Amino acid sequence: MYQPLSDSSTHLISFLFYANLFFLRELVMRRDKFRNGLNKILETNDLVAKMEGELTAMRPKLEQKQRDTEELMLKLSNDQEQASSTCKCTPNEPLIGTYCRTQPSAHKQKEAKLNLLFTAVPADIVRNRVKEDELVAKNKAMETQAIADDAQRDLDEALPVLEASNRALDSLDKNDISELRVFTKPPQLVQTVMEAVCLMLGAKPDWASAKQLLSDGNFLKRLVDYPKDDISDGLLKKLKKYIDNPDFHPDIVEKTSKACKSMCMWVRALDLYAHVYRTVEPKRKRLNDANMELDAVMIKLRSKQAELKAVETKIAALQAEYDGSLSEKKVLEHSLALTSARLKRAGRLTTALADEQDRWHVSVDVFSRQLENVVGDVFVAAACIAYLGAFNADYRASLVEGWTVRCVELSIPISNQVGLFSVLGDAFELRQWHTEGLPRDQVSADNALLVTRSQRWPLMIDPQEQANRWIRTREAERDLHIVKLTESGFLRTLETCIRLGYPVLLEDVGETLDPALEPILLRQTFTSGGRLLIRLGDSNVDYDRNFRLYITTKLPNPHYLPEVSIKVTVINFTVTPAGLEDQLLGEVTRLERPELEEQRSQLVYRINADKNQLQVSKNDTKMTSFKLRPSGF
């Protein structure tokens, strides 16, 4: 038989702290969940009363807003007539305002017709007039531009020549001028060019006058700044004999004097410009007249545009006033409809939760009592985890009863029927275990809690292999690896599962365990370089926290020394009479009436599924009541 450890107070104290923290938190969470649900139901009832008051106060406001909107429609119609008269509409242009007043219609028809107000007289009349004036202005602008373009084309013939001559003059310097001034009797072409320049500058056309001009420091500047638009007809007539001279050409003059070539170009360019200017001048006068006419048209157009803007501004103001009133009315209607809908939904919710309200009151009282007894209850549960695993059902019951009596004697608050499952168990989780093949007796349920809640890996005494089958089903989806100590590669399998986080079922152990398992059993993990490791043999292995180890033995009455017991949680899964009876009945039914056993299995599965769904629905109901807000209806 199992030899109990003489002193396992350290394990008991550590688990007592864990169990107390876990159970206390669980109870507080459950109590607060129901309490919050009750508070939300009360808030909902208050909200329903508040919304009923709002709804009652809202209906007269909506009726008043309806009357205000109709009055505004009539006012807008009158304002439209005044705006139309301001724009001097002709008698054969009907006003929409008059039409609205003379045609009998319902309220909705009035609203539809009123929308025509903002596209009818007077805006359209002014807009049409503006379009006509814009067309006139456009045509006048095109005509003016055509005149300007024609004049510019003529000027474009002369201006490039004039610009070229100015560039040639700019290229001259004082040395070029000095070369001309030293002549006592200049060459004939130089004489001819300088005579033409003297005429242009208003001097006597002889060499003496030319030399005097050349001595002027501003001579070149006078040529460049020459008033080309003021050349008289008389001057052009005098220049004609020079212009007509075949030798008076820049290319020919250049052979005699570079400076005279530039001045020859200048004289010929000004002559050309003067003749072009006389052709362009009438066109310029026409352009000035056209610009004046265009300015008058634009002034008239801007006046009409200002008139249009004033009308559109007035219409926009009317539109904004109407839209604002209509929007307020729609908001009020929407608020009325929304409040009515919320009121209906809130009423349905309070009716549906009326029964839940009473049940939740009871649940809050139950959880409050459990919180009062949490010290004693958690003590018994922790003691069960620490000590009861290896014992049979009768001895377990005797120990729990003794602990309960002792707590009462010491005035430690404790529940009347305290037990491991009543403190740490969960009915929802238990149904899942039953679906996975756990026997349906109380001892098996307690054993499952020991397996899942203990801080040490479980070693299950399992001669009937009930725990083995349950673990296989429970961990099948997580790729359970099954090994035995007798297998040559079981340590390699363990190492792989530890690294990858797979569960391991170690079967058929004896009364001693392989020393190589000690680091795993004691969970001797450490952190290095940010990695969680465990040392197996001579190597460090990455430790995945999802790793689980289950150990089973088929020995019906093993004797484990304390050296083994302190490393594992020994749990006795030997079949109980109640569990055996249920299994035997199932086996007989399976053999005698296989269809009934199949039907029973299906019913058990469906019942568990329905109970699970019921639990989920209850949680949803509580969460719904917890989340209720005025905006949530």
The sheet carrying 531-536 orders its strands as 525-528, 531-536, 539-542
Please state, rounded to an integer, the average pLDDT across all residues of the chain: 76
Please state, in angstroms and rounded to a whole number, the distance separating the CA atoms of residues 235 and 225. 18
* Phi/psi of residue 572, nearest 5 degrees: -90, 105
List strand residue ranges (DSSP E) for 421-493, in order. 458-461, 481-484
Please state, in angstroms and rounded to a whole number, the distance separating the CA atoms of residues 198 and 221. 15
| Domain count across the chain | 2
| Per-residue pLDDT tens over the stretch 540-553 | 999 999 999 999 99
CA 180, 186, 190 angle in degrees (round to 5)? 70
Residue 534 in domain: yes
Q: What is the pLDDT of residue 98?
A: 36
Residue 41 in domain: no
What percent of the chain is modeled with pLDDT above 90? 19
Residue 316 in domain: no
Q: What is the pLDDT of residue 111?
A: 52
Q: What is the DSSP string of 205-218?
A: SSHHHHHHHHH-TT
Beta pairing, strands 503-507 & 525-528: unpaired
pTM (global) more than 0.75 = no
Q: Lowest-pLDDT range, 238-247, 354-363, 483-492?
A: 354-363
Task: List Cα–Cα distances, 396 to 164, 420, 566, 590, in angstroms.
Answer: 123, 10, 20, 33
Question: Rounded to the nearest 10 degrees, what angle do helices 393-409 and 374-387 cross at?
Answer: 150
Residue 362 in domain: no
Q: How confident is the model at residue 68 (pLDDT cuts 50, 70, 90)?
A: confident
Beta pairing, strands 525-528 & 548-553: unpaired
Residue 363 in domain: no
Residue 301 in domain: no
Q: What CATH number corresponds to the domain at position 443?
A: 3.40.50.300
Domain of 234 in residue numbering reads as 154-285
Residue 597 in domain: no
Last residue of a domain, one of 575, 595, 622: 575
Q: How confident is the model at residue 79 (pLDDT cuts 50, 70, 90)?
A: low
Residue 200 in domain: yes
Last residue of a domain, one of 223, 256, 285: 285
Last residue of a domain, one of 575, 601, 619: 575
| Per-residue pLDDT tens over the stretch 348-366 | 767 766 666 667 666 667 6
Please state, in angstroms and rounded to a whole number, the distance separating the CA atoms of residues 325 and 318. 11
Q: What CATH number corresponds to the domain at position 159?
A: 1.20.920.60
